[in-house]
Structure 1
Amino acid sequence: MAFDEDSFIDFRFNTNYRYGFVGGPNFATLEKRLRSGVTRRRPLMDMPLHRYRAELATFNEDERAALLDAIWVAEGKAYTFRFRDFNDWRVSNQVLGYGDGTSSPIQLVKHYTRGPKTKSRDITLPVDVAMTADGVPFTGFVVQPIGGLVLPTTVWPAGALLEWTGTFDVCVRFANDYNPLTSVAGRINELMIELQEERYG
């Protein structure tokens, strides 16, 4: 996956959500009911795009300034930035594959498994990354903070099971060009915000 750094501004949106964000993965499904009454469904996208919505309130002057900065530099929907989804931001012992004795880059991923099915999600904005090879800490690597590629500083240990643990952000943009802040009687500040995940390829 090619990450479009020209349209990405490397800052994290305000994490002091007060009342929290509502959001999660948004899938797209084509549904068709046959004459027999049987319904057929087919996914339209390989991966979902996350959506978030929240009402921020009673933030202080520093937080107000930070919110205004974010809105201005993002130019509404034009530019993307980091977002910490506190429902899904940690990774623990996720398998990346087996070392092949080369120095080829490996994409960070997170796996979601229930029953016999697994969906794997590319992690493009890693924050903290620790790796093991056959369960032993492995430090011979560097990580691209934008894009999520892991490159060994020598070669991957041949035949070793490679796993990673860490945290990550989501690449998002404002869902709207108009993001008004409200001041009520000079004491209560409010901002209704919607964010949309953006994926590059």
Structure 2
Amino acid sequence: MTMAIEAFSEARFPLRVSFGTSGGPERRTEIVRLSTGFEHRNQRHRHSVRRYDAGSGVRSLADLVAVLDFFEARRGRPTGFRFRDPLDWRSCAYGGSPSALDQAIGVGDGVTTEFALVKRYGLGTEAYVRPIAKPAGDTVRIAVDGSEVAVGMAVDPATGIVAFAAPPAEGAAITAGYDFDVPVRFDMDQLTVNVAAFEAGEIPSIPLIEVRP
């Protein structure tokens, strides 16, 4: 008998474990070396996919129990969830505090009322623009033409969409600052826990992979 399972949960993976996790973005690149000696390089996907191993963040039996509880509540791989990347979780530079001017998310045209949160890596036309779908809702700050606004707009923490009650004026720059999570799922069906091995210094592997919610 099969069972309908929620595709994504807004629950966040235990923070004390996530801040000790290893991992980061992965790019898939096909490389063909031509007879001339030159290479033809092609990326298979527009966006990188982040992979993590939360096993390196487990420091105690209490951490293991918290992960076990979280794993069971998500039913393993079927349900996605929020994960706080220990290195990249804010719209600003590492070590700073978000401001409403951190990231450009659009320009008003007098008609559009919804804008999606993004984060840029690099400068100019070569910058990579990453969609941010899971902001921490209570941290999002929005500015229009350099002036922070607190009324007349709402942010959906489940999608990263900023909705204005009235469309920003034509040519008005819309910017944002925020904390955010990465949508991931467990990349395993079995969580193998050996208490004796853990006490001897062996930490279990707990693979996570980014998903598109």
Check the 8 A contact 1:95/1:161 in 2, yes or no. Answer: yes
Matched, 1:178 2:190: yes
Work out whether residues 103 and 151 of structure 1, in 8 Å CA contact, stay in contact via their aligned partners in 2: no
Q: Which residue of 2 aligns with 1:85?
A: 85
Say whether 1:124 aligns with 2:124. Answer: no
Unaligned segments of structure 1, at least 5 residues: none
Provide closer, same or farther for how the CA distance between residues 19 and 105 of structure 1 changes in structure 2, counting only shifts above 3 A.
closer
Runs of 4+, deviation exceeding 4 Å: 185-190
Aligned match for 2:145, one of 134, 138, 157: 134
- The answer to whether the 8 A contact 2:19-2:85 is kept is no
- Equivalences for residues 17-36 of structure 1 within 5 A: 17=17, 20-36=20-36
- Measured in 2, the distance between the counterparts of 1:145 and 1:6 equals 17
Return the offset for 1:26: 0.5
Q: Name the counterpart of 1:105.
A: 114
**2: distance between equivalents of 1:15 and 1:38?**
46
Could you say if the C-alpha distance between residues 122 and 115 of structure 1 is closer, same or farther in structure 2, counting changes exceeding 3 Å?
Answer: closer
Aligned length: 195
More strand by share: 1
Partner deviation per Cα, 1:34-74 (whole Å, 9 max, x = no partner):
1122111011100011001132444254x444212211122
Per the alignment, residue 155 of structure 1 pairs with 167
CA RMSD of aligned residues (A): 2.3
Offset, 1:87 = 1.1
More helix by share: 2
For normalisation by structure 1, the TM-score amounts to 0.87
* Residues 192 and 186 of structure 1: CA distance in aligned 2, closer, same or farther (over 3 Å): closer
SS of residue in 1 equivalent to 2:66 = helix
Establish whether residue 144 from structure 1 lines up as the match of residue 145 from structure 2. no
* Secondary structure of 2:50 counterpart: strand
Q: Counterpart of 2:56 in 1: which secondary structure? A: strand
CA–CA separation in structure 1 for the residues paired with 2:22 and 2:51:
8
> How far apart are the structure 2 equivalents of 1:19 and 1:170?
13
Counterpart of 2:60? 59
SS in 1 for 2:110: coil
3-state DSSP class of the match of 1:76?
Answer: coil
State the AA in 2 paired with 1:163. T
Does the residue aligned with 1:16 lie in a helix, a strand or coil?
helix
